[in-house]
């Protein structure tokens, strides 16, 4: 059977003209048993469309691991490094992960208590809630009436020592049904987005770059981000913005001297734009919560200086300045019309290009709403590639 593609089911909130390339439903293949030829085709499609949906799949943890690993055969360990996450008690990621004992690269995530699951006698899961991460929260009354927020826009990546995974696979096993919710931005814009209960929200990093005005495109193509050492521990006392797109600058981050042992050599400095290996497009891929400094190169020779920002380059170390500039560049791309909120069905498998999209957990469940997903991503065998000299010449 040949591979067939269908458009993703876009909600009425989405601007369809911005989703012509983004996201496809794939039919006619079994993602757990792909032939080498099908796998090759799926890889090309993933990089071309950034998110692929397979419905009604049967997928064991072993098959999910094999599929994820096929995108980067030299990768081996879970994207955040299991033991590291487990031993780093302070990390904000710690409570969200339960490992499948047989296949430790696959994580069980969700909500409520799950029994006798793939070798886990009992797993208590908690859907991450903005109420424990954002500086402000939706009031309990509004939450009961269905209002919610994006939890945290991110890339799946340790951002320290390990390279960001190329692909993440998310497989929905138990999906509680419930009324839709309204995701509020609460940033003074009045923006809000109707979402299915417990959606995963995606935005395209490619669109994030493409909609920038020329002067910010020029900054983006010249900029690199330095992430904090052990960023999830570093940020643990800090609180997020109401949009989930970064952290409030209140000086709450842990001092570097209080972090677990770290070395300069393992600190990650990544380009702001990551080059798609298939389409060669540039994707704006910054994990805003972990960013600590921005390094902006001077304009290349021959570039127009008039109206340019940072024409002689800059090294921005003031956290608020770093965050404000990133926010200015990233916020436009999470506008309601540019978000794809996936409406999960049981046995949905979503494969996403982790180096080409940003995503966020959304919504709130009650403890009796049981949700069980398998998630897998693997620390990559190499770091992402930034803009080429031609890209810099073109966009700076
Ligand atoms: Fe994630």
Residue 78 has pLDDT above 80, yes or no: no
Q: How far is the CA of 355 from the centre of ligand 1 (A)?
A: 12
| 109-137 tens-digit pLDDT | 999 999 999 999 899 999 999 999 999 99
| 154 Cα to the center of ligand 1, angstroms | 6
Looking at residue 84, what is its pLDDT? 45
Question: What is the CA(36)–ligand 1 centre distance, in A?
Answer: 28
Q: Kindly give, in sequence order, each residue whose CB lies less than 8 Å from that of residue 163, ignoring residues fewer than 6 positions away.
A: 157, 379, 380, 381, 382, 383, 384
Cα–ligand 1 centroid distance for 212 (angstroms): 25
Residue 384 has pLDDT above 80, yes or no: yes
What is the band of 83 on the pLDDT scale with cuts at 50, 70, 90?
very low
Q: How far is the centre of ligand 1, averaged over its atoms, from the C-alpha of 257 (Å)? A: 28
Q: Using the mean position of ligand 1's atoms as its centre, give its distance from the Cα of residue 157 in Å.
A: 8
Q: How far is the CA of 81 from the centre of ligand 1 (A)?
A: 14
Which tens digits make up the pLDDT trace of 90-105? 666 655 668 999 999 9
Tell me: the pLDDT tens digits for 273-317? 999 999 999 999 999 999 999 999 999 998 999 999 999 999 999
Report d(CA 352, CA 308) in Å as an integer: 34
Q: Say whether pLDDT at 29 is over 60.
A: yes
Q: What is the pLDDT of residue 80?
A: 77
When pLDDT is averaged across residues 258-271 and rounded to a whole number, the result is: 97
Ordered structural domains, the chain, with CATH: 4-206+335-377 (3.60.130.10), 214-331+386-395 (no CATH)
Instruction: Give the span between the Cα atoms of 223 and 316, in whole angstroms.
Output: 10
- Ligand 1 geometric centre to CA of 299 (Å): 34
Amino acid 85: pLDDT: 44
What pLDDT does 277 receive? Answer: 97
Would you place residue 269 in the very low, low, confident or very high pLDDT band (cuts 50, 70, 90)? very high
- Distance from the alpha carbon of residue 311 to the mean position of ligand 1, in angstroms: 35
DSSP letter string over 209-244? HHTS-HHHHHHHHHEEEEEPSSHHHHTTTS-B-TTS
Distances (CA, A) of 257 to 61, 161, 229, 254, 294: 39, 18, 11, 8, 21
- Name residues whose C-beta falls within 8 Å of residue 244's C-beta, 6 or more positions apart in sequence: 130, 133, 134, 149, 150, 151, 152, 153, 360
* 41 Cα–ligand 1 center, Å: 25
- Is 77 a residue whose pLDDT tops 60? yes
- Is 158 strand, coil or helix? coil
How far is residue 122's CA from residue 396's CA, in Å, rounded to a whole number?
A: 54
CA of residue 359 to ligand 1 center, whole Å: 6
Q: Compute the distance from residue 376 Cα to the ligand 1 centre, in Å.
A: 10
- Provide DSSP, 19-55: -SSS-EEEESS-TTS--HHHHHHHHHHHHHHSEEEE-
What does the alpha-carbon distance between residue 351 and residue 71 come to, in Å, rounded to a whole number?
11
Decide: pTM greater than 0.75: yes
Please provide the size of the chain in residues.
Answer: 396
Average pLDDT over residues 57-72: 97
The per-residue pLDDT for 76 is 79
pLDDT at 79: 77
Q: Is 272 helix (H, G, I), strand (E, B) or coil?
A: coil
Q: Are 345 and 127 in contact (CB under 8 A)?
A: no
What average pLDDT does range 172-199 have in this prediction? 96
Give the Å distance between the CA of 358 and the centre of ligand 1.
Answer: 8
Largest CA distance in the chain: 65
Centre of ligand 1 from the C-alpha of residue 141, in Å:
28
Residue 88 Cα to ligand 1 midpoint, Å, equals: 18
- What average pLDDT does the chain have? 94
346 CA → ligand 1 middle, Å: 19
What is the per-residue pLDDT for 86?
42
**Cα(162) to centroid of ligand 1, in Å?**
16
Question: 153 CA to middle of ligand 1, Å?
Answer: 8
Phi, psi at 247, each rounded to 5° = -115, 145
SS3 call for 375: strand
Which residues lie near ion ligand 1 (Cβ < 5 Å)?
A: 156
Instruction: Give the whole-angstrom CA distance, residue 213 versus residue 391.
Output: 16
- 390 CA → ligand 1 middle, Å: 32
Paired residues of 377 in beta bridges:
168
| Residue 72 to residue 373: CA distance in whole angstroms | 22
**Residue 2: its pLDDT value, please?**
87
* Residue predicted with more confidence, 88 or 111: 111
* Mean pLDDT of the region 250-271: 97
Cα–Cα distances in Å, from 218 out to 370, 373, 393?
46, 40, 9
Per-residue pLDDT, 238? 97
Task: Output helix, strand, coil percentages for the chain, rounded to the nearest 5.
Answer: 25, 30, 45
């Amino acid at each position: 059977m040949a591979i067939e593609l269908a458009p993703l089911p876009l909600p009425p909130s989405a601007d369809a003209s911005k989703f012509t390339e983004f996201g496809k439903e794939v039919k006619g293949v079994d993602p757990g048993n792909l032939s080498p030829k099908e796998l090759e085709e799926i890889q090309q499609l993933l990089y071309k469309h950034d998110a692929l949906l397979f419905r009604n799949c049967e997928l064991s943890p072993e098959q999910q691991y094999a599929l994820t690993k096929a995108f980067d055969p030299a990768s081996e360990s879970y994207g955040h490094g299991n033991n590291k996450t487990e031993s780093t008690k302070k990390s904000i990621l710690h409570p969200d992960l339960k490992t499948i004992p047989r296949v430790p690269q696959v994580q069980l995530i969700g909500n409520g208590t799950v029994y006798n699951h793939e070798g886990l006698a009992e797993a208590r899961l908690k859907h991450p809630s903005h109420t424990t991460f954002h500086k402000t929260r939706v009031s309990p009354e509004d939450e009961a009436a269905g209002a919610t927020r994006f939890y945290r826009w991110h890339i799946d990546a340790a951002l320290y020592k390990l390279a960001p995974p190329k692909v993440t696979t998310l497989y929905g096993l138990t999906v509680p049904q419930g009324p839709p919710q309204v995701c509020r931005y609460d940033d003074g814009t009045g923006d809000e987005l109707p979402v299915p209960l417990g959606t995963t929200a995606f935005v395209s990093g490619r669109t994030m770059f493409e909609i920038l005005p020329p002067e910010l495109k020029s900054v983006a193509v010249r900029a690199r981000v330095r992430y904090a050492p052990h960023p999830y521990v570093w940020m643990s006392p800090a609180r997020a913005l109401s949009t989930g797109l970064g952290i409030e600058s209140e000086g709450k981050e842990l001092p570097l001297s209080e972090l677990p042992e770290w070395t300069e050599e393992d600190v990650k400095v990544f380009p702001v734009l990551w080059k798609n290996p298939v389409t060669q497009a540039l994707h704006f891929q910054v994990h805003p919560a972990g960013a600590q400094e921005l390094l902006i190169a001077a304009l290349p020779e021959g570039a127009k200086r008039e109206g340019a920002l940072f024409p002689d380059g800059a090294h921005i170390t003031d956290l608020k300045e770093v965050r404000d500039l990133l926010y200015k560049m990233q916020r436009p791309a999470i506008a309601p019309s540019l978000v794809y909120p996936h409406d999960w069905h049981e046995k949905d498998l979503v494969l996403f290009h982790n180096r080409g999209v940003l995503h966020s957990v959304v919504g709130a469940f009650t403890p009796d709403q049981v949700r069980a997903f398998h998630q897998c991503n693997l620390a990559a065998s190499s770091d992402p590639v930034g803009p080429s000299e031609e890209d810099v010449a073109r966009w700076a």
